A = this chain, B = another copy of it.
Amino acid sequence: MTYRMGIDLGGTTAKLALVSAGQKIVREISVPTAGFPNAALLAEKLGAAGKILMKGASVQKVGVGVAGDIDSENGIVRVSPNLGWKNVPLGKLLKKHLKQTVVVENDANAAAWGIFHTQAPKHTQNVIVMTLGTGVGGGIVLNGQLHRGTTGSAGEIGHMVIDEKGPLCNCGNRGCLETFVGGPHLIRYVQEALVAGEKSGLQTVYKRAPDEITPYLIAQFARKRDALALRVWNRVGHALGRAIGDLAYILNPELVIFTGGIAQAGSLILNPLWKTLNTRSFKTPIQALKIKIAADAPHIGALGASLL
């Protein structure tokens, strides 16, 4: 039996997974990644961990997902703010230690590829995977292939501009999709409304423990028909509807899959989302579209990387 190895390389931890041909994770280890003086030393550490993981298994290929701007063709991490890297030939460094072909890809793309392979129905060709969490990330599969674009930068769906006068985004622009959907933005929106004195069941929680205002709690209150909490999710759904409407017109995908913590709000998001989508005039690309929320997918970053 042959296996593949996937590495999800983040700023604090790397997750390494040994994946079977049936796309199951058979072994998994984590390695801390912070505090390495240079990339070569971290690659050596990852190489050592990888060798332990692969012991006794016939491995065909290694894939790595890294947060940042990646030159996938040459296996180079152009910039990774989380790792503090610039122009690191990660593919080459890992190949030296692992004696395997190494594919390097952006982590959002790797995760999207994993979701596509494990959660999209067979023969699905055009799929957009959106991670709704602290940030909003994306990965685009067209004609069954990951669409990377000219410099591997494709899929930055979270920074489509929904309202150019909208809230300030971490990226520096205003009104990106992420500012209407990302967890910290939802919390800030609620806190501002509560500070302004809006009536809501969340006021009691906020006065007792402001830190307890989380997307999870906002969803709980929305299910109890709290007006402020409902407005938050209607706003999330509407912004996603705006973005997905544009994506449907541009790319005409058959499936959008949501993953990430925010996506767990489920119908609180999907109902207003479809309400917005259904206002679009051209019906064919909207009717061709399905939207689903991914099943729980632990280690999807490493799994997806293994399938690159």
Which residues of A does B touch, CB under 8 Å?
69, 78, 125-126, 138, 140, 142-143, 145, 147-157, 159-161, 164, 169, 171-173, 242, 245-254, 279-282, 284-285, 288-289
A154 to B248, CA, bound (A): 7
Question: Which label, helix, strand, loop or mixed, suits the secondary structure of the A interface?
Answer: loop
Q: Which residues of B contact A285 (CB under 8 A)?
A: 149-151, 153-154, 156
A289 to B150, CA, bound (A): 9
Shortest beta-carbon distance from A254 to chain B in Å: 4
Interface-centre pick from A245, A248, A285 (highest chain B CB count, 10 A)? A285
- Which residue of chain B has its CB nearest to the CB of A164? B242
A232 to B155, CA, bound (A): 32
Instruction: Specify which of B150, B169, B171 is in contact with A254 (CB 8 Å cutoff).
Output: B150
Shortest beta-carbon distance from A257 to chain B in Å: 15
Instruction: Specify which of B148, B155, B284 is in contact with A250 (CB 8 Å cutoff).
Output: B155
> Contacts A125-B150, A284-B78 known; A250 to B252 CB distance under 8 Å?
no
Q: Which residues of B contact A242 (CB under 8 A)?
A: 161, 164
A125 to B202, CA, bound (A): 52
A-B contact pairs, 23 of them (CB 8 A): A78-B284, A126-B149, A138-B250, A140-B250, A147-B251, A149-B252, A150-B253, A150-B288, A150-B289, A151-B252, A153-B248, A153-B282, A154-B250, A154-B251, A156-B282, A159-B281, A160-B250, A161-B245, A169-B281, A172-B281, A173-B279, A246-B246, A247-B250
Shortest beta-carbon distance from A149 to chain B in Å: 2
Q: Which residues of B contact A254 (CB under 8 A)?
A: 150
Interface-centre pick from A147, A250, A280 (highest chain B CB count, 10 A)? A250
Shortest beta-carbon distance from A255 to chain B in Å: 9
Instruction: Specify which of B147, B157, B173, B281 is in contact with A173 (CB 8 Å cutoff).
Output: B281
